[in-house]
Structure 1
């Protein structure tokens, strides 16, 4: 999917990362300018700004793994806060790319610190909707450095196909497959791969 460049600010929150949410009627896919926004990824719809980023994520079955991870890391309280947050929310399919043994160890009590670090790496303080992110990328000469709640950088770019990608500190690339899912305390962008900090 591609991120549609819109001029409307919808909440984009990731201040408590992984409490990401449902894609809905007010969600916009990231696509080239002037492209029609249609959900071809099959994300479940959700009401606009009907709750916090955590509540929105809880209402979308495509984020059930993320919600479980946020709960295991004790981040729900933070992500239910005032924000605003921009959350780059990995879908269940994104988590499936991580080996099962690794996922299991992260979800165990002994993996809580690592899980928290990974989840907060997906949260950017403030509201960064698709239009704002695209402007930041253009202003940065083709890339934008996003400082996450974890303290490290995600690098955003627009690919040749118009899709926004995020490059993590290990060189992994995730793609925004649905943008501008609104929440009362931020905005969520669904991504297809879990980003990993150094």
Structure 2
């Protein structure tokens, strides 16, 4: 109950302050790698299926953080090498056991806020409150778990499903198209996909431009 109360305070704070701050913009656009493919029944994707304006910022070849490097790894280990996700990785590692839990899951979908999404939350909350959030393991675990779907989807499958229940409980709504899906959280905030259909050994990853918040 204490974690729920803390999360409610956070979401109210964000809702109250959000209108006064200019959101951090997404990474500079790079040429899309490809359009999203037709839905796959099991949600598993390949490098050829990856799409989005920020995908070109990933390392190339077999360098750490490249598609070839991330693909064989479980999701938390893969994210740890992705330069777009360093703040998310810091948040995950602040919760003991969470990285191992994510790595041990089978067939999941992860909405991964890029670094600028956390910068936006930090600007809204202020440094002290943001650092307090990062040090509150229960509250942080609840927020991060709201970004994990216990079923594997590709972009077309997300759009077809329309509404998804997160690992932490609470729903998100998928809009847009398979080429440009959107994710709307419980507070009504809509995130866009910066790089989607990223394959890892146990998850399909969608890098998004906002931190998702449950309804309450």
Pick from 167, 171, 187: which aligns with 1:170?
A: 187
**Divergent runs of 4+, >4 A:** 24-27, 38-41
Are 1:42 and 2:31 matched, yes or no? no
Closer/same/farther in 2, CA of residues 80 and 7 from structure 1, 3 Å limit: same
2:171 alignment partner, one of 141, 149, 153: 153
After superposition, the C-alpha distances for 1:109-144 in whole angstroms (9 at most, x for unaligned) are xx11111111000000111111211332xxxxxxx1
**Structure 1 match to 2:202:** 185
* Aligned partner of 1:88 among 99, 111, 117: 111
User: Is the radius of gyration larger for structure 1 or structure 2?
Assistant: 2
More helix by share: 2
2:121 counterpart of 1:98: yes
Q: Which residue of 2 aligns with 1:195?
A: 212
- Unmatched 5+ residue regions in structure 1? 13-23, 31-37, 137-143
Provide the secondary structure at the position in 2 that maps to 1:128.
coil
Q: Which runs of 5+ in 2 are unaligned?
A: 1-28, 60-65
Give the RMSD, CA atoms, in angstroms.
2.6
Q: Report if the CA contact (8 A) 2:55-2:195 is conserved.
A: no
Q: Tell whether the 8 Å contact from 1:130 to 1:179 is kept in structure 2 after alignment.
A: yes
DSSP-derived class of the 1:68 partner:
helix
Q: 1:103 to 1:41 in 2, by over 3 A?
A: farther
Residues 66-87 of structure 1, C-alpha deviation per residue, up to 9 Å, x if partnerless?
1111111221111010411100
Shift of 1:50: 1.7
Contact 2:35/2:49 (<8 A) preserved: no
1:26–1:182 Cα contact (<8 Å) kept: no
- Among 119, 144, 148, the alignment partner of 1:119 is 144
3-state SS of paired residue (2:213): coil
| Higher RCO structure (Cα 8 Å, ≥6 apart) | 1
Q: Any conservation in 2 of the 1:117–1:150 contact (CA below 8 Å)? A: yes
Do 1:11 and 1:188's aligned partners in 2 also have CA atoms closer than 8 Å? no
Cα distance in 2 for partners of 1:57, 1:117 equals: 19
**Cα gap change, 1:42/1:25 in structure 2, threshold over 3 Å: closer, same or farther?**
same
Distance 1:126 1:92 in 2: 25
Distance 2:58 2:71 in 1: 17
The question of 1:5 aligning with 2:36 is answered yes
Distance 2:152 2:35 in 1: 17
